[in-house]
Amino acid sequence: MLEKSGTDRIVIVGGGFAGIELARRLEKKIPRKTEIVVISAENHMVFTPMLPEVAARTLNPLHIVVTGREMTRRTRWMKARVTAVDVGANEVVYEDDRGAEHRLAYGQLVMACGAVVDLDAIPGMAAHAYPLKSIGDAFSLGNALIGLCEDASIAGEAERPNILSIVVVGAGFSGVEIAGNIADLVDRVHRYYPQLRNVRARITLLQRGKQILPELAYKALSDFAFKKLSERDVEVLLETSAKEVTRKRVVLGNGESIPAGLVICTIGTAANPLDLTLGVPLVQKRLPTEPDMRVKGLANVWAIGDNALIPNEATHENSPPTAQFALRQAKQLAGNLALCLKDKPTKPFRYKPVGLMAAIGHRNAVAEVFGFHLSGFFAWFLWRSVYLSKMPSLSRKFQIAVDWAWELFFPPNSVELSPQSERKTDLAHYAGGDWIYHKGDPAQHLFLMQKGAAGIYFDENEGPVGALEPGDHFGEGALLNKDGNGRRSVSVRAISSVDVIRMGREDFVRMADSMSILREGMTREFLERRSATRVTELLLSEPGYFDFSVERFMSPERFAIPIESTLGSVLEAFEPNASGFNVIDGDGRLVGYVSRTEIYKAIQQRMPGDSPVADFMLTDPPMATPDENAVAATLRLVHNDVELLSVVNDRGERKLLGTVCPLDVFKQTILFESNGSEKGPAS
């Protein structure tokens, strides 16, 4: 069979509501000689309005997904990830599951790829919150809800309320529906946990605005939903936003915090990265279109669904990103594409919405339909009837009806699954003041700093003795313990908001065992830190050492080279036992540092001998002032990849005065310990 030319092909990027409905409509409107291709990263469409019921164990997750192949006849389906659109060549660039890149030509292109979740809108949300956009999200959330009950049942009485605290961020349709469904699930499984007889789950719904379900025009319906949720012990906080999310709490905009065993995010969307490859400036994070849904500035590219900003001629406003509008856009775009293929004028998008509905749990809902305002049981029954009728497969309609009937007579499934594929390396966020771990805790993770700053503590009642910054790693020492029972030798606390990558013990050990250079490097660094830790412990054991400043250990030799130096001159200046050089400007100010590491990197990059030192030096070396505490300076030597600590008169002026060498600190401390001197280290 010969491959069709691009001019005889309509390519639809995205297999969601809009993409599938468009393909179905096109099959009826365009001649068979024009090929219809759908490219989607998944081979199925998710009926997203029912995701909260999947999370609440009311519906089987497989019953709300339908493959595109079941719903179309002659459309060509491709499960692949589109990475870019080459509008100049009229080609779509995509990758298959093996990572191989391919191109597909098109005559007409439709962008129906939807928006993406923006969990970075709130610090810590990406690390600790559950989104609700996919079938996997709903399944994982349901599993986590059962897991909360399991955890609380074996925890102490004082811990249980905090574990069973659930926070939902955002009180739009998704937030209200998931909060109501969670309340139903927790109520119905509560009887299986006799240990929790005297404690109830706390569900908190956060809404930045003055009312929940702000999409509803009739405020009385919003008030009804608020009342019903409150009766179910769902605490609704209006005009309240989440400022930060950590493993155990949600920090609010007013500075207060709520304990959180589980956080659900229903807010935040970002522009789809694929839309950016078209070269069209986005508006409100969406592709702007002409009234007929053609992307502005592109003759043969169209957009529908959540990623499209489409003017609605019926309301003279932009269409909202909802499934109701996506389906109607798909229907009309099929007609416009058929007209376009015949060189006939297209029509502007025009649609007057039928209404809005939201299920709020416990067989209650609110609805605005054809101008009527409904609430309570009848609205709930209408909600189920309408969405059941919209399911695109007869078999799925029957399966969902059976699930709903089953739920009337039997409790939800309370099985908690722990799949082997669960992530052992993940993200974590800590607010300023949170303890990342305590001295004596069992070691379970290696931590890699991404953002923020943290302090190292030998005694949690005293100040920090060292600092950790982005790029640092910590916690590997206890993981390298051969018996696998390592304990933390220090405490680590977030100074500011901190983002880290947490690598589980098994992942770290497996990787270290497979990469000898990594294990050797980690072990060497651990031993160096351990030696420095020993010195610091000696310093801490003698209260008098807190009176000693960096000046006590400072060597007046400055090991300095001028900023005019080159790679060749630095190589000539290096002696076999040299550690490194400070780099100073004409006024004697510290501007950089060069060690063997920087030189090796320059050689590996094949820099010529006349390359200026500024091209390869460390531009922001660690430094200390003469009056700074010696304990803090010692720890800075450990946690920075340099052999010498530069001593400057002032951090602003940075006039180089001398250096502190670890060996000098070790020597003087050991001599002091062996002599039992009460005068401190030698000057």
Each residue of 134-152: b (16+ CB within 10 Å) or e?
ebebbbbbbbbbbbbbebb
Phi-psi region of 60 (alpha: psi -120 to 50; beta: other; left: phi over 0): beta
R_g (Cα) of the chain, nearest Å: 31
- On whether both 363 and 444 belong to a single domain, the answer is no
**Where does a domain end: 382, 409, 436?**
409
- For the chain, report the end-to-end CA distance as a whole number of angstroms: 89
**Whether residues 568 and 443 fall in one domain:** no
Closest Cα to residue 94, out of 113, 107, 75? 113
Query: Do 368 and 480 reside in the same domain of the chain?
Result: no
In a domain, 652, yes or no: yes
Q: Is 446 exposed, middle or buried (0-12, 13-18, 19+ CB in 10 A)?
A: buried
Q: Are residues 283 and 369 in the same domain?
A: no
Q: Are 567 and 616 in contact (CB under 8 A)?
A: yes
- Both 475 and 562 in a single domain? no
My answer on whether 151 and 258 are in the same domain is yes
Q: Which of 466, 630, 646, 659 is nearest to 547 (CA)?
A: 630
Q: Are residues 640 and 563 in the same domain?
A: yes
Amino acid identity for residue 187 in this structure: D
Instruction: Give residue 358's identity as a one-letter amino acid code.
Output: A
**Whose CA is closest to 448, among 427, 466, 432?**
427
Q: What is the dihedral of CA 51, 53, 55, 59, to 10 degrees?
A: -100
Q: Is residue 242 part of a domain?
A: yes
Could you tell me which residues come within 8 angstroms of residue 609 by beta carbon, excluding any fewer than 6 positions away?
566, 567, 568, 571
Whole-model pTM?
0.77
Reading the block at residue 341, the tokens are 């293929």
Range of the domain at 434: 427-514
Per-run averaged pLDDT (10 residues), the chain, 683 residues: 69 94 96 95 91 95 91 94 96 91 96 91 92 92 94 94 96 95 93 91 95 91 94 94 94 95 92 94 96 96 97 94 93 97 96 91 92 93 92 89 92 79 75 92 89 89 81 77 70 94 81 63 57 56 63 77 92 75 91 86 88 90 82 61 78 88 62 52 44
C-beta of residue 59 within 8 angstroms of C-beta of residue 19: no
Is residue 434 domain-resident?
yes
3-state secondary structure 294-325: EECCCCCEEECCCCEECEECCCCEECCCCHHH
The last residue of one of the domains, among 353, 370, 399, is 353
Q: Is 370 a member of any domain? A: yes
Q: Are strands 317-318 and 311-312 parallel, antiparallel or unpaired?
A: antiparallel
Q: Can you tell me the distance from the alpha carbon of 590 to that of 560, in angstroms, rounded to the nearest whole number?
A: 9
Q: Is residue 69 in a domain? A: no
Q: Interior CA angle at 586 toward 581 and 588, to 5°?
A: 55
**Sign, CA torsion 235/238/239/244:** positive
d(CA 146, CA 130): 14
Q: Return the structure tokens found at 605.
A: 């990059």
Q: Is residue 448 part of a domain?
A: yes
pLDDT 10s digits, 461-474? 887 877 888 888 88
Instruction: Tell me, yes or no, whether 165 and 250 share the same domain.
Output: yes
Instruction: Rounding to the nearest 10 degrees, give the CA dihedral for residues 417, 423, 424, 428.
Output: -110
Tell me the sheet residues that pair with 124: none
608 by DSSP, 3-state: which?
coil
d(CA 632, CA 553): 13
C-alpha angle 368-370-375 in degrees, rounded to nearest 5: 30
For residue 108, which of 322, 339, 271, 273 has the smallest C-alpha distance? 339
**Spatial CA neighbour of 41 closest among 265, 287, 332, 272:** 272
Looking at the domain assignment, is residue 71 inside a domain? Answer: no
What domain count does the chain have? 4
d(CA 155, CA 595): 52
Other residues' Cβ atoms within 10 Å of the Cβ of residue 432: 15
Pure H helices in 363-485: 377-390, 394-409, 476-479
Flag whether 46 is in a domain. Answer: no
Instruction: State whether the Cα torsion 198-204-49-60 is positive or negative.
Output: negative
Last residue of a domain, one of 353, 373, 389: 353
Helix (H, G, I), strand (E, B) or coil at 212: coil
d(CA 533, CA 397): 65
Let me know whether 264 and 279 are in one domain: no
Q: What is the enclosing helix (H) or strand (E) of 132?
A: none
Q: Please report, for the domain that includes residue 594, its CATH number.
A: 3.10.580.10
The whole-angstrom separation of Cα 651 and Cα 81 is 50
**Residue 378 belongs to domain with CATH number:** 3.50.50.100
Parallel, antiparallel, or unpaired: how do β-strands 445-451 and 580-584 relate?
unpaired
- Statement to judge: residues 377 and 485 lie in one domain: no
Residues in the chain: 683
Q: CA 683 to CA 664: how far, in whole Å?
A: 11
| Residue 234 shares a structural domain with residue 365 | yes
Smallest Cα–Cα separation from 174: which of 133, 227, 137, 141?
A: 133
Q: What is the domain-level CATH number for residue 481?
A: 2.60.120.10
404, two tokens: 């709903």
Asked if 222 and 141 sit in the same domain, the reply is yes
pLDDT (tens digit per residue) in 191-212 = 899 999 889 899 999 999 999 9
Q: How far apart are CA 444 and CA 486, in angstroms?
A: 9
Q: Looking at residue 285, which CATH number applies to its domain? A: 3.50.50.60
Q: Which residue has the tokens 């809009």?
A: 18
Alpha helices in 542-620 (DSSP H): 567-573, 596-604
Alpha-carbon distance 121 to 119, whole Å?
5
Q: How many CA atoms lie within 13 A of 156 on its CB side?
A: 2
Secondary structure element (H or E) that encloses residue 552, with its range: none
